[in-house]
Amino acid sequence: MTAAAESPLVRVEDVTKIYHLGAPDEVRAVRGISMTVSRGEVLVIEGPSGSGKTSLLTIIGCMSRPTSGQVLVGDRRVSRLSETALTSIRRETFGFIFQHLHLIPDLTVKDNVMLPLFPTRMTVPEMEDRVDRAIRSMRIDHRRSARAGRISGGEQQRTAIARALVNEPTIVIADEPTAHLDSELSAELLDILAELNRAGTTIIFATHDPRVIEHPIVSRRLVVRDGIIVEKTSP
Amino acid sequence: MRRHLKILDFALASLQRRPFKNWAIIAVYAFTVAVVASVLFLTQSIRREAAQLFVGAPELTVQRMVGGRHVPIDIGVGETIAAFPSVVGVEPRFWGYTYDAVTESTITIMGAGPGMATIDLVEGRLPTRPTESAIGAGVAAMWGAEVGGEVILVDAATTGVLYEVVGTFESPSDILTNDLVVMTAEEAALFLGLPEGKATDLAVRVANDNEIDTIAAKVKRAFPDSRPITRSEVLRTYDAVFHWRSGMMLAVFSGGLIAFVILAWDKATGLSAEERREIGILKAVGWDTGDVLELKMWEGVVISSTSLILGLITAMVHVFVLGAPLLTPMLRGWSVLFPELHPTPHVDPYLLFAIGFLTVVPYVAATVAPSWKAAVTDPDEVVRG
Amino acid sequence: MILHPGVLGLLIGSGLVVALMLAGAVIGVRVLSGWDPSSASEHQLALERRTYLVSVLVSVALWIEIGSALLFIHTVDDLHELFVGAMCATGSLNANPVGWWVLATKAAMVLLFPVWIALNRLDQRAGDYPVVRLKYALLLALTPIALADFVLQLRYFRGIEPDIITSCCGSLFSESSGKVTGDVVSLPAGLTFPTFAATSVIFLAALAWTLLSRHPASKIVVTFLSPLVLAVGLIAIVSFISVAYYELPTHHCPFDLFQAGNLYVGYPLVTSLVVAVVAAFLPGIFLPVARRTSLGGLITKSERTWLTLSIAAYSLFIAFAAWPLVFGNLAWELM
């Protein structure tokens, strides 16, 4: 293995995240967490709601900046980057699957999947090509012109995954992906992600759903409670 | 460049998804543009029409002033002026006003002379005998008279005089000829009660344009009680008056402009929950604040240009096709026989630019802060739901 | 005071620019006083968000200002008919010489705003806001210019009175008589043409040298050359380019180039000159900050764009300048 492959994709060092700092409603969501994300792994960040796992996830995913501590993506120090620079790293590295999917219901499946590509320098044919591939890999090409608000729950979920994949991210982040799904859809989602992982994509889950935690693809578990890591396991 | 076009593309699609709200603002916006544009189109075309009429006007008009008032001038003065070098000819003119009690309007009486040549007769000819007259479209309509008919006017001695109509005038000279009755020069002098050997003013023709000012100065020196007025001065005065009128009307309408700006501000600030959520999603999937700002900017550009085009078309139809029925009351001066306006369709690019500047700039300025407010939504707010 | 639609538009436009710039400056001062790049407090994040507001405010002010400069030229031209002896926009400006200062403030803003925007773009993209202080210092310098523009413009329009017929006599004999001259004084083409040619050759050579070698000294040369090129270019326009377009040896009014009669050739002519000069001005001023690691790569990339743009724009300018000299009727009689 080369040195590059061995070095972690993301390194989080002694990170805290405090909301409303100094105000009476101050919330210490993350209180000094250090961790790494390695290439190709499936990492589960486990914890009850309010434990700080979503905050940690947004910090790893370059979606918000920590109050203190360091975050490195590759060898780039990102914790103090300006929003514009941070966003461009996020666009290149991460794909997100949100708990509530967050599709725009009035837009077609195709346009929803294309959303992350608009602010890039990609040409329109390149964009179309990327979108086609993502949609086909999720097997929703027959629905590409349907509005996202008018398709079934399973199809919406696939659309959201296609959107997370359209920028060909190295890391996919899924926040409570199965929270609102029945067991059939959850299983389907996990199968899709397992397949992605076999193709080399690193996956991070934030969840407290045992169906995810006990899934065989999971390579490592971090348990977060009250903003700190209380347990680490690698099966 | 490519990135900008893609965001424009998205902006277009996103405007179409909220047709009601956007058409509502476009309607108000276009109305504002139409008001401003109507005022400017109308005054511009009146200026042009007036300027065209003066093309054939005498280079110099000489009046006599007594006590600051314009009084009849000796025709003999003209003979002295005619002897000045560069002066091609001097023509005494006889004109004035008469009030017609029957139609309750003021009519301009003018003696026929060489200066008339530039006025287009629609039908018939100019009067050659004292009992004949040629009349403007407004007078014709009021009396129901055509060529071959008759008009009765009350002269300086309050005697009713009957004239046979031998010709009528029409637009584009409307603005000057609408309330006009032309008679022979001698008859006009008589009708207006001008003393023997006096004229209303003198029209001086000068061969070389560069000499006009010199001759005006000479006239003033030779006849200190005279007032020489050059053609360019008349044009300048007209211009200033019409600029002033259109500026005045715009100032009156600026209240409407402010109301529009407030509306724009309000619409831009009052984002629906759905729009807010949408911007959050965009930020979450990798748009940064600058991208969302650009989206908002493109939306503004599309709304502005649509409204600008619609407003300009409305104004053109209003002014050039319908004759500006909603504005003429404000331009009407002393004359009841105000001409029917048929402004010649002419649009100056400068005017379009001024209209755009007067309407788009306030709109853009009003939407800056609200757009920013919308664009700085934190992406992780969406994740937290 | 002349109540004219163009004048109203200009006053509204400048007033809004002042408002936008003042808002930008106030926010700028607040950002600067609380700025702490090492902190990730919500206060700092809020300040960072405000920097976006400032950049939109300034961008919008720039666009209004560009429009306002054009509207000013055309309005002043439209007004010349109101003054005895005024042949074109120059006459209107001479009617109240404050007008020339208005023109100068507008030109200064059109030239300096793009510099600010270039600085701002680099600052945002670099990641660690390396030139944030420089940026807001420049913003604070720009605001008084906007203010001066507004005040001078108001004074200009308040100070001009059209020469109209008064009740006592024709305007010809009123006090204003003869006070307005129609033309700008101009230098002989025999002197300006060689200067212009030499400056152009040196400028293009310096641009090419910088693009190829990226030597720091060359960047400084190009930056110092660009205001000179602007001045020489403008003198050339007044002295012989406009004359060649009009085909009238005595008519020097550069503003007529912006009129339909000359196919609006003034727009590409002046735009290409301004673009060339602004783009060439940038490399040298970024030299002091280019060493910062976060900016180095970005600046190197941007410099290529600026230099290429400058060469292209200046070549275009030369083409427009040379066109009437080569194909016109009047060309060589001037020399």
Q: What would the pLDDT profile of A165-220 be if each residue is shown by its tens digit?
A: 999 999 999 998 888 788 888 898 899 999 999 999 999 999 988 999 988 999 99
Whether the per-residue pLDDT at A84 is higher than 80: the answer is yes
Residue A91, token pair as written in the block? 């666009």
**Distance from C-alpha of B62 to C-alpha of B83, rounded to nearest angstrom:** 15
- Residue B240 has its nearest CB partner, among C55, C82, C172, at C82
Question: Are B240 and C7 in contact (CB < 8 Å)?
Answer: no
Positive or negative CA dihedral for C95, B65, B90, B131? positive
- Residue A70 falls inside a structural domain: no
**Residue C237 DSSP one-character state:** I
DSSP characters over B277-312: HHHHHHHHTT--HHHHHHHHHHHHHHHHHHHHHHHH
Question: Are B287 and A87 in contact (CB < 8 Å)?
Answer: yes
Question: Sorting pLDDT into bands at 50, 70 and 90, what band is B293?
Answer: very high
Q: What is the arithmetic mean of pLDDT over C183-189? A: 65
The DSSP H or E segment spanning B134 is strand B132-135
- Nearest CA among C293, C102, C86 for reference residue C182: C86
Question: Are C64 and B364 in contact (CB < 8 Å)?
Answer: yes
Which of C35, C38, C41 to mutate: most A Cβ within 10 Å? Answer: C41
Whether B277 and B259 map to the same domain: the answer is yes
Interior angle at CA B236, CA B230 and CA B240, nearest 5: 150
Residue of chain B minimizing CA distance to C16: B365
C181 against B142, higher pLDDT: B142
Measured CA to CA in angstroms, residue B267 lies from B21, B28, B260, B304, C330 at distances of: 8, 12, 10, 14, 57
B272-281, C266-275, C312-321: lowest mean pLDDT where?
A: B272-281
**How many CB atoms are closer than 10 A to CB A136?**
12
Total structural domains in chain B? 2
A99-108, C83-92, C181-190, C274-283: lowest mean pLDDT where?
A: C181-190
Q: Which domain holds residue A48?
A: 39-64+81-233
Q: How far is A83 from chain C (nearest CA, A)?
A: 7
- Residue A170 falls inside a structural domain: yes
- Residue A172 falls inside a structural domain: yes
Q: What is the arithmetic mean of pLDDT over C40-44? A: 79
Whether the per-residue pLDDT at B358 is higher than 50: the answer is yes
What pLDDT, on the 0 to 100 scale, is given for residue C175? 40
The CATH number that applies at residue A218 is 3.40.50.300
On average, the pLDDT of chain B sits at 83
What pLDDT, on the 0 to 100 scale, is given for residue C286? 82
> Under a CB-based contact definition with an 8 Å cutoff, are residues C324 and C286 in contact?
no
On average, the pLDDT of chain A sits at 89
Which of A59, A104, A145 to mutate: most B Cβ within 10 Å? Answer: A104
Question: Are A111 and B13 in contact (CB < 8 Å)?
Answer: yes
A3-7, C27-31, C86-90: lowest mean pLDDT where?
A: A3-7
- Residue A76 falls inside a structural domain: no
Residues 220-279 in C contacting B (C-alpha not used; CB under 8 Å): 260
Which of C172, C174, C180, C267 to mutate: most B Cβ within 10 Å? Answer: C172
The residues that bridge with B132 in the sheet, in sequence order, are: B164
Question: Sorting pLDDT into bands at 50, 70 and 90, what band is B334?
Answer: very low
Would an 8 Å CB–CB cutoff place A123 in contact with chain B?
yes
φ/ψ of B205, rounded to 5, equals -100, 130
Q: Looking at chain C, how many residues does it have? A: 335
**How many CB atoms are closer than 10 A to CB A213?**
15
> In chain B, what residues touch C169 (CB-CB under 8 Å)?
65, 220, 227
Whether B158 and B285 map to the same domain: the answer is no
Render pLDDT for C69-114 as a digit per residue (tens, 0 to 9): 989 988 888 888 777 767 778 878 888 889 899 999 999 999 998 9
What pLDDT, on the 0 to 100 scale, is given for residue A221? 93
Render pLDDT for B250-263 as a digit per residue (tens, 0 to 9): 777 777 778 788 87
Cβ neighbours of residue A18 closer than 8 Å, sequence gap 6 or more: A26, A27, A28, A29, A67
Pairing of strands A10-19, A27-37: antiparallel
Whether the per-residue pLDDT at C171 is higher than 70: the answer is no
Residue of chain C minimizing CA distance to B66: C168
Residue A2, token pair as written in the block? 């080369």
Interior angle at CA C301, CA C297 and CA C306, nearest 5: 140
Question: Are B6 and A124 in contact (CB < 8 Å)?
Answer: yes
What pLDDT, on the 0 to 100 scale, is given for residue B68? 77
Whether B21 and B84 map to the same domain: the answer is no
- Residue A185 falls inside a structural domain: yes
**Distance from C-alpha of B345 to C-alpha of B41, rounded to nearest angstrom:** 9
Q: Of the residues B230, B262, B285, which one is the last residue of a structural domain?
A: B230
**Distance from C-alpha of C182 to C-alpha of B227, rounded to nearest angstrom:** 26
Q: Of the residues B205, B230, B255, which one is the last residue of a structural domain?
A: B230
Whether the per-residue pLDDT at B264 is higher than 70: the answer is yes
* Domain boundaries along the sequence of chain C: 5-161, 189-334
Q: Of the residues B230, B262, B297, which one is the last residue of a structural domain?
A: B230
What pLDDT, on the 0 to 100 scale, is given for residue C184? 57
Q: How far is B164 from chain C (nearest CA, A)?
A: 38
Total structural domains in chain A? 1
As a 3-state breakdown, chain C gives helix, strand, coil percent values, each rounded to 5, of: 80, 0, 20
Q: Which domain holds residue B194?
A: 58-230
Would an 8 Å CB–CB cutoff place C312 in contact with chain B?
no
Question: Sorting pLDDT into bands at 50, 70 and 90, what band is B147?
Answer: confident
Q: What is the arithmetic mean of pLDDT over C199-214? A: 92
Question: Sorting pLDDT into bands at 50, 70 and 90, what band is B117?
Answer: low
Amino acid at C153: Q
The residues that bridge with A30 in the sheet, in sequence order, are: A17
Q: How far is A127 from chain B (nearest CA, A)?
A: 10
